[in-house]
Amino acid sequence: MIDPFGRTISYLRVSVTDRCDLRCVYCMSEDMTFLPKADVLTLEELDRLCAAFIRLGTTKIRITGGEPLVRRGVMALFDSLGARLGAGLAELTVTTNGSQLTKYATGLRAAGVKRLNVSLDTLSPEKFTAITRWGKLDKTLEGIFAAKAAGLAIKINAVAMKDVNEDEFDSMLAWCGAHGFDLCLIETMPMGDIDGDRTEQYLPLSVVRARLRKTWTLEDTDYQTGGPARYFTVAETGRRVGFITPMTHNFCESCNRVRLTCTGTLYMCLGQDDAADFRRPLRAGASDDELDAAIIAAIARKPKGHDFVIDRRENKPSVARHMSLTGG
Ligand code: SAM
Ligand code: SF4
């Protein structure tokens, strides 16, 4: 699939649920309303859509959410997608908050998942609970080490927040190095109404990188995961550190992805509202050919890029939907 700007679209991110067992302050408000079950695609419907994308040239699928591992029966989807590895699909992966990994790490590895991203913004138990509202650091760490023991490669994702975890990046980089994990830092994006003030949270990663360089040797690398992160090798640990900078650097030129929500809505850009609905055709009995044609038509509408801005006067998000719906 090639979009109007010549970009090959080979990466599908699938949010399998909008629900979550945590309430991270930058992602959700405490009293989130979730979608009614009837609006959410069944795992079979999600599998059928994924199969259509694979037919059309998708080689990488990331399962995300909400918290993907709280969706009931989700391992059946991993198993069915895993069975497509080597038959069009080259990589199946997942982004998780880690809380369910003690239960599922072995099953994920058995399904063919080789690496996963775990979101962890802090190594302080108190801060962890403050950021996630409902989480316990120990549970997430147990999950991370269960995944490591199951043979999964791990990348830790941390959202950089001013005055919250900005004093911890040195220690997190050391911790990741000691355990053989990569670390990826993310700028807060203005998505969805939350309870707090985002302009207070925003911390440009250019500042973080300059600070890290005082302690660590960050060597340029051309390592690419097909994602928007810019990676460096940390000479002292041999692991990588990545920076995702949607606010300070526009990474849209090399965008290779689209995002499917759990309701069957395809967003061609994380930062734009245009979308294509696949639930209706799926439930109206569309044939494989009709689904393929609808996907191709949607890719033809992929916009050139996002234009995230934080409106400092209004403190309104530039995209109204939450990250947990589109899938981070
Ligand atoms: N629940 C899973 C998790 O936390 O890893 C998967 C979904 S979560 C929405 C995916 C990623 O999006 C997480 O790493 C989270 O930190 C990030 N995220 C959520 N809201 C964000 C925001 N407003 N700005 C930047 N990153 C955000
Ligand atoms: Fe849940 Fe992930 Fe959002 Fe945190 S970032 S509330 S873990 S979906």
User: Tens of pLDDT along 148-181?
Assistant: 999 999 999 999 999 999 999 999 999 999 999 9
pLDDT score of 313 more than 80? no
- Quick check: is 18 in a domain? yes
Q: Quote the pLDDT of residue 312.
A: 45
H-helix or E-strand containing 236?
A: none
Which of 104, 93, 86 shows the shortest CA–CA distance to 144? 104
Q: Is 4 within a domain?
A: no
Quick one: residue 17, left, alpha or beta (phi over 0 = left, psi -120 to 50 = alpha)?
Answer: beta
- Predicted pLDDT at 287: 98
Over residues 199-204, the mean pLDDT reads: 79
- Count of domains for the chain: 1
Domain that holds residue 25: 11-326
Instruction: Examine the pLDDT at 229 and tell me if it is beyond 90.
Output: no
Nearest CA to ligand 2 atom 3: 27
Could you tell me if residue 43 is inside a domain? Answer: yes
The answer to the question of residue 287 being in a domain is yes
For residue 111, what is the domain's CATH number? 3.20.20.70
pLDDT at 282: 97
Q: Which tens digits make up the pLDDT trace of 127-154?
A: 999 999 999 999 999 999 999 999 999 9
How far is 218 from 227, CA to CA, in rounded Å? 19
Ligand with the closest atom to the CA of 67: 1
Reading the block at residue 41, the tokens are 């695609």
Helix (H) or strand (E) holding 63: strand 60-64
% the chain with pLDDT above 90: 78
Say how far apart CA 113 and CA 163 lie, in whole Å.
35
pTM metric for this prediction: 0.93
pLDDT of residue 202: 84
pLDDT at residue 311 greater than cutoff 50: no
Highest mean pLDDT among 88-102, 234-248, 271-285: 88-102
**CB-based burial label for 129 (10 Å; 0-12, 13-18, 19+):** middle
Token duo for residue 140: 């997430």
Q: Is 287 exposed, middle or buried (0-12, 13-18, 19+ CB in 10 A)?
A: exposed
Note whether 242 and 231 are within 8 A (CB): yes
Any idea which of 38-47, 198-207, 208-217 has the lowest mean pLDDT? 198-207
Q: For residue 129, is it within any domain? A: yes
Instruction: Report the distance separating Cα 105 and Cα 246, nearest Å.
Output: 30
Report the residue among 32, 63, 95, 122 best suited for mutation to probe ligand 1: largest number of ligand atoms under 8 A from its CB.
95
CA of 16 to the centre of ligand 1 (A): 14
* Residue found by looking up tokens 């090798």 in the block: 233
Find the ligand nearest to 133 CA.
Answer: 2
Residues 2 and 8: their CA atoms lie apart, in Å, by 4
pLDDT at 196: 66
Instruction: Compute, in angstroms, the gap from residue 24 CA to the centroid of ligand 2.
Output: 5
Q: Does residue 235 fall inside a structural domain?
A: yes
Q: Binning pLDDT at 50, 70 and 90, where does residue 47 land?
A: very high
Question: Which listed ligand is nearest to 261 at the C-alpha?
Answer: 1
Structural domain includes residue 282: yes
pLDDT score of 213? 97
CA 21 to ligand 2 center in whole angstroms:
8
Whether pLDDT at 190 is above 90: no
The answer to the question of residue 1 being in a domain is no
